[in-house]
Amino acid sequence: MSTPATPVSAPLRVRSDLLVAALGLGALWLLVWSQQSLEWRVNPLYSYGWAIPVLAAYLFAERLRDAAPPRPRARGWIPAVVLTGVALALVPLRVVHEANPDWVRINWYMAAAALGSTAAVLAAWGGWRWLWHFAFPLGFTLTALPWPVWAEEAFTQGLMQLNTLCSAEGLSLCGIPALAQGNTIAIGRTVVDVEEACSGIRSLQTAFMMSLFLGEFYRLRLLRRVVLVAASFVVAFLLNMARTITLTYVAGRDGSEALARWHDPMGNAVMIGCIAGLWALAALVARGNRPRALAGGPGASLLATPRLALTPFLVLLAGLGTGEVVTRAWYSYHEAKLPPPLRWDIAWPAVPDFTSTEFDERTVKLLKFTAGNRGSWTDTAGVRWSGFFLRWDPGRVSKFLAGSHYPTVCFPAAGLDLVDNRGVLPVQVGDLVIPFRTYVFKRHRDRFYVFHGLVEERPSVSDERLEYRQVAADERIASALAGNRNLGQRVVAFTLSGELHDYDDAVAALRRALPQLIRFENVQP
């Protein structure tokens, strides 16, 4: 009696063309995410971005499960043209980004290149039906990108003011007298600042991202997705307002130290509450929704499709490699010709009423500076001074951090009103030229003259290159063409008040005092 032969499974076929395509597109997306990670790392508003690549990959895989079998069209030229164009654009984009890691526009250009390349391959391989089928996972990746600066600042300021007013009213309704002044809430003698982190923008952005993900996760119909997105804004705002009310009450009762202890735990609680609440709401909204139709996946069909042309993906990989090589060589060549950096810091005045203040832990974590100090005093003319000095050693994110906070954001958050923006005031001390960005603020009858200067440890393209997020495109490109990238930054800022008649009087006081405040030496990390 013979034994039936055991069937031998066919060996798994490895499609070299699919591997090369995955390698090319994967490397491009990896470059995009690595550039975005600079923002995720230093800007708490976008810290949720670390989850986007994982969530987007999951949504794409879920879409792949019920995608129709691909039907390649005679459109091989589409990915060839798109991928070749992207490969050629990668070199200048990498060079410019290296000099401007904070430039939001470059992040969007890189994301557009990755999205366009992926869309072209999907359209050519599976037709427009496939492109439409995978449109949402691709579009979802855009939630990881930073907003345009003007939109982010305007929305954040408006949200801070709304949160402040609503929280003050909420406290008053609870029988706790509270007064909103700018972006501060006063309870008795205690004044609590509603900062950017307390505005609710972080929880709102995270809630918005999660509402989009959950709508796709449950494959909700369009109207239900709209309801879920709208609910995300309401939930995030109400929970954050409850947080602000609680923290303000704690500060009024137990002082600023208690506020510092509860600040981060309450923020984490709001974030968890937003996600949990939205997930519960999405599950509720999903009841009665049409179930997903799974076709078992086109995995077998993918291997049976005609082979992809390798040339476009090889060109893309060549463009990625060339971009990195050219970028390194370009800046190394120019930096070899730069003079040694000018080392300097601040020598605070030796006056009886000088007070040195340490930066709080939250500020240190936020700005991640190498060294810093601050102090306040009154000079012999009766002018009250407050100043700080920060130093960042060279690093890819230091330039981003040095230019990430401006008086136009911090001072309104403290209840001061911007009266005038006087532009750039270059002040020279020895070989050092500090381009001070100057502002005039007021609170009640008091005037505050603010001088905020940022100096890069390299020759600058322009004396007005201070607030990096607001630098013109041509100046950013000129910086890249000149081979100027981050070699370290120093920020010095002064606020003058008291016995001053006007802005010119404040400028004169600054020019008199600055030579005694600047100290030149080789500062070690």
Q: What pLDDT is attached to residue 6? A: 43
Which residue stretches of 378-487 are H helix?
398-402, 407-413, 473-481
Residue 102 tokens read as: 């904070």
Cβ-proximal residues to 129 (8 Å cutoff; 6+ apart), any chain: 68, 71
Measured between alpha carbons, how far is 464 from 179 in angstroms, rounded to an integer? 39
Query: Can you tell me the distance from the alpha carbon of 267 to that of 323, in angstroms, rounded to the nearest whole number?
Result: 40
CB 311 within 8 A of CB 79: no
**pLDDT tens-digit profile of 438-493?**
999 998 888 999 999 988 776 544 434 444 345 678 878 888 888 888 778 899 99
**147 pLDDT tier (thresholds 50, 70, 90):** confident
| Helices within 255-298 (DSSP H only) | 256-285
Tell me if residue 447 falls in helix, strand or coil.
strand
- Averaged pLDDT of the chain: 82
Question: pLDDT: is 394 or 74 the higher one?
Answer: 394
Would you say residue 522 has pLDDT above 60? Answer: no
Task: Provide the H-helix boundaries in 9-148.
Answer: 16-42, 52-65, 77-99, 104-133, 135-140
Q: Find all residues with CB under 8 Å of 155, minimum gap 6, and list them.
A: 147, 201
Strands (E), 321-431: 344-346, 355-356, 371-378, 383-392, 417-429
What is the rounded distance in angstroms from the CA atom of residue 87 to the CA atom of residue 353?
61
**Dihedral over alpha carbons 278, 280, 286, 288 (to 10 degrees):** -150
- Tokens for 9? 């499974």
For the segment 326-348, the average pLDDT, to the nearest whole number, is: 87
Report pLDDT digits (tens) over 180-201: 776 677 776 666 766 644 556 7
Residue 355 confidence (pLDDT) above 90: yes
Average pLDDT over residues 269-275: 85
And the tokens for 248?
């303000």
Rounded Cα gap, residues 374 and 149, in angstroms: 28
Residue 1 scores a pLDDT above 70: no
- Whether 109 and 404 have beta carbons less than 8 Å apart is answered as no
Which secondary-structure segment (H or E) carries 494?
A: strand 489-498
Burial 328-364 (b: 16+ CB within 10 A, else e): eebbeeeeeeeeeeebbbbebeeeeeeeeeebeeebe
DSSP per-residue letters across 199-262: TTHHHHHHHHHHHHHHHHHTT--HHHHHHHHHHHHHHHHHHHHHHHHHHHHHHHHH-HHHHHHH
Question: pLDDT at position 59, please?
Answer: 95
Instruction: Please state, in angstroms and rounded to a whole number, the distance separating the CA atoms of residues 330 and 322.
Output: 12
pLDDT-derived band of residue 290, with 50, 70 and 90 as boundaries?
low
Q: Show Cβ contacts of residue 32 under 8 Å, excluding neighbours closer than 6 positions.
A: 110, 111, 113, 114
The per-residue pLDDT for range 376-412, each reduced to its tens digit, is 999 988 999 999 999 988 766 676 677 767 787 778 7
Strands of 383-392's sheet in order across: 355-356, 371-378, 383-392, 489-498, 446-456, 432-443, 417-429
- Which residue would you say has higher pLDDT here, 299 or 398? 398
Joined tokens for residue 57: 């990959």
pLDDT tier, 525 (very low <50, low <70, confident <90, very high otherwise): very low
Helix (H) or strand (E) segment spanning residue 456:
strand 446-456
Distance CA 414, CA 367 (A): 18
> Hunting for tokens 């519960």 — which residue is that?
280
Q: Which amino acid is it at 120?
A: A
Q: CA torsion sign, 497 to 500 to 504 to 510?
A: negative
- CB neighbour class for 72 (10 Å; exposed up to 12, middle 13-18, buried from 19): middle
Instruction: Specify the range with the lowest mean pLDDT, choosing from 99-113, 314-328, 370-384, 447-461.
Output: 447-461
φ, ψ at 394 (rounded to 5°): -55, 140
Instruction: For residue range 212-268, list pLDDT tens digits in order.
Output: 999 999 999 899 999 999 999 999 888 888 888 887 777 777 766 666 677 778 778
Residue 476, classed as helix, strand or coil, is helix
User: Any idea which residue has 């700080």 for tokens?
Assistant: 388
Q: How far apart are CA 496 and CA 69, in angstroms?
A: 69
DSSP, res 470: G
